[in-house]
Copies of this chain bind each other. A is one copy, B any other.
Amino acid sequence: MHPPADPDPHRRVNPQVREGFSLCELVPVPLRLIDGQADGASMGKVVDGGGEGAAEVTGIESSGRLPWRKATLARRDIPDAVVSRLPGYLQVLTDLAAAGERTIPSAELAVRSGVGPATLRKDLAHLGSTGTRGVGYQVDPLIATLRDCLGLNRPWRVVIIGAGHLGRALAAYPGFTERGFSLAGIVDVDAAAIGTRVGGVTIRHTDDLAELIADPPSTMAVIAVPALAAQRAADQAIALGVTGILNFAPVVLNVPASVEVRNVDLSTELQILAFHAGQPPADEHQEVS
């Protein structure tokens, strides 16, 4: 009935530890910390962190005893597969809101999002139940919940590294700012490009990256440089505090586990299409099993 599961090539990184810990809604769940014993082989002992800081979604370890915020989401608990579908739901819901819809049943939202209704309801249940039995989901509150979950209510500043055709196209992409990402700047090493205006900013030299990222701070970088320059670009960005990288270069970036990388590779996608195009065509009237 549905496209089979397919692990996300966009999240591929060199094997690294990526262990999370869980937060629960409204319940002060302590951070799980490893105590200090440097015992490499055995498992770290889980220590009760004392109930502090877990509700603060920015992940900054709190120094004082914060009042328990109404944590809207158990964000750590959401599987990656679910997270990757949330932007799609948000997109569809935004369109629905613009069209004046107030509520929508899961069946319809699912069709418009390209997923099954069971998957949709289970996904949304991860955000805390927002639906009403017999009615469906309220569009506006669900949008708010999704935006909150994805962290889109804070400003995100993004730098683009590489001002070739692709970098400039990305800088000029309106969807960038439409969805709350603001372009901090774009850099390149090519003297011919520097000084050109694109997407509301002026292309600067890569040497200015530190300055650009620092104030106000950017935490996301888009890498749009040739493959050979990509690792260096990533290293620079990470050294300057970037924790999220969208990589368009066809290389596996080596990054610390604290940095999230998503890869987008045009030719990978074309090759996957080639594979399928080379297959015997799926018969439209094929048996449904």
Contacts and interface: CB of A to CB of B under 8 A. Distances in A.
B287 A19 contact: yes
Interface stretch (A77-85, A188-196, A200-208): A77-85
A236 interface: no
Contacts of A168: 165, 169
Q: Which of A84, A150, A276 has the most CB of B within 10 A?
A: A276
A: contact size bracket: 35 or more
Given A6-B8, A158-B270, A287-B43, A15 B1 contact: yes
A87 to B, nearest CB: 4
Contacts of A4: 18, 79-80
A5 interface: yes
A150 B252 contact: no
Chain copies in the assembled complex: 2
A13 B32 CA distance: 39
A83 B268 CA distance: 10
Contact of A220 (B45, B262, B270, B289): B270
A149 B278 CA distance: 9
A194 B15 CA distance: 47
Contacts of A12: 3, 85, 88, 113-115
A51 interface: no
Contacts of A80: 3-6
Given A19-B287, A165-B168, A267 B84 contact: no
B152 A244 contact: no
A175 B267 contact: yes
Going nearest first, the 8 A-B pairs with the smallest beta carbon separation are A59-B280, A151-B278, A6-B8, A244-B273, A169-B169, A165-B169, A44-B287, A114-B252
14 contacts: A7-B84, A14-B114, A15-B114, A15-B115, A19-B283, A58-B280, A59-B279, A92-B252, A165-B172, A176-B267, A257-B282, A258-B281, A258-B283, A262-B269
